[in-house]
Structure 1
Amino acid sequence: MQRYFVSPEQFNEDRVIITGEDARHITRVMRGKPGDTFIVSDGVSREALVKIEHIEQTDVFAVVIEPLEMKQEPLLKVTIAQSLPKGDKMETVIQKCTEIGAVHFVPFVSARTIVQYDAKKEGKRLDRWRKIAKEAAEQSHRNMIPAIDQPLSWKSLLDTFSEYDVVCFCYEQEHGSQLRDVLKPFIAQTLQKPGTTASLLLLVGPEGGFTEEECKEAEEAGAVSVGLGRRILRCETAGMVALACALYESGEMGGA
């Protein structure tokens, strides 16, 4: 069933108003008419099955048929910190990791980042990333849209490590700890009680990977260096693999 995210202000006790691009999608693409049903979420605390009551020019007015339980989000809250890759690879990372279950994206600039960061152009790029996240969240029936930050410097990213329960530095040179070696005991300790949550930050490098100095700095800031197997993954693949492994290990996909 079609799903749309709206702001909490558009969602009152028994009615909802759909505006903008979503309203155009309902009326022009889906050919919506009074009586048609779809799901609406405010991305925070409310979700419901609604029915179109009437359509006025650019707005769609719907009435709540049935409140729905918000139970699509994983208990392990994973943030993907991705060093800015070339081309449209970041769009792929955001789309696919949103579908898998990431709750937050933090783009950053590292020593081997190839693309030139341009603050003037970044606003439009950020808008596009957020639109991609919204559409992917709707398609995959998420209860919320992942947050996407403005790109950070490497130093600024290091300063955020204390905000997470555990930070994993995905490093292709790591031949000791593998991701599961770190996640299994962490999850066993933090997600024992039903309903509890935990936060994980996954750091993924650019096309050329991280430097040894960055690995040292990350570990000094509190990260654990981990490998993702014996094969070298593309930068746009590594985050997806690490995220899927983390959610599986947490029991989201039948693991743990």
Structure 2
Amino acid sequence: MQRYFIEQPFNDEIATIREDDAHHIINVMRMRLADELIAVHNGEAFVCKITKIDNGSIEVQKTGEVRPNTELPIHVTIACGLPKGDKLELIVQKSTELGMYDFIPFEAERSIVKWDAKKGKKKQERLQKIAKEAAEQSHRTHIPTIHEQYSFKQLLQVVGDYDVVFLADEEDAKETSRTRFAERLKKVYDYKSMLVIFGPEGGIDRSEAQALQQLGCQSISLGPRILRAETAPLYVLSAISYEFE
């Protein structure tokens, strides 16, 4: 059943869907009166039927059936140093499917790509649209918030907002005795929020790693193999899902 996120609350069990989603319902899905869809509002998914189609807008009414919550039991924010090309699009899409809660792109010391204000805003909007579509496809009840580009200094300032912060450090993977991510996860069952930080293609700079560790960030290894920038977040979210779900 097709799923759509709506911002406005239901009024007497009725809500209105407009703009792009209404266009999709009418012209792409070719839905008609009495057809059913899932409308998600404020973290809850309701099965609704179409009661009115008028001038490019759709009116839907709750049927009384509520779909189960599909979110991870811990809010996981992913922070990635800006990588090259369209890798962020892949990271955001697949990470949304795997349960990511929020996403922070940041300019790392080894980031080759640089975003100016205009380019950064367009990138953010594009990534937010990708997150919305991926959340609908994967039957989420939450669309991850794609934050504007952070500087590394700004990233340091939000570290304290999370119950636990991990740094995926490729230097740790090279050690004979590695810090196993699985062991770290077993200690955070009572936590509500987690931030996991990844460097760009060249990895996190040593000065950045030290600054994060001084704020209590815990380094983790993602196994003995060195993962690509676009692979590491997906590995982490898969491990978290396996452990918690």
With the shorter chain as reference, the TM-score category is over 0.9
- Structure 1 ranges of 4+ moved more than 3 A: none
Structure 2 CA distance for aligned equivalents of residues 247 and 78 of structure 1: 11
SS at match of 2:120: helix
1:177 to 173, 176, 179: 179
Is 2:146 aligned against 1:148? yes
**Would you say the 8 A contact 2:3–2:137 is kept in 1?**
yes
Q: How much has 1:115 moved relative to structure 2? A: 0.5
- The residue aligned with 1:194 is none
Structure 1 CA distance for aligned equivalents of residues 141 and 68 of structure 2: 6
Q: How much has 1:4 moved relative to structure 2? A: 0.2
- The residue aligned with 2:163 is 165
Structure 2 CA distance for aligned equivalents of residues 233 and 246 of structure 1: 17
- The residue aligned with 1:4 is 4
**Would you say the 8 A contact 1:133–1:146 is kept in 2?**
yes
Structure 2 CA distance for aligned equivalents of residues 28 and 45 of structure 1: 27
* TM superposition score normalised by structure 1: 0.91
- The residue aligned with 1:90 is 88
- The residue aligned with 1:126 is 124
- The residue aligned with 2:13 is 14
Q: Give the length in aligned residue pairs.
A: 241
Q: How much has 1:13 moved relative to structure 2? A: 2.9
The amino acid of 2:195's aligned partner reads L
> Aligned residues: percent identity?
41
Q: How much has 1:103 moved relative to structure 2? A: 0.4
Structure 2: gaps spanning 5 or more residues? none
1:233 to 196, 220, 227: 227
Structure 2 CA distance for aligned equivalents of residues 200 and 48 of structure 1: 28
Structure 1: gaps spanning 5 or more residues? 191-196
Structure 2 CA distance for aligned equivalents of residues 156 and 222 of structure 1: 16
**Would you say the 8 A contact 1:169–1:223 is kept in 2?**
yes
Structure 2 CA distance for aligned equivalents of residues 63 and 166 of structure 1: 41
Structure 2 CA distance for aligned equivalents of residues 113 and 3 of structure 1: 36
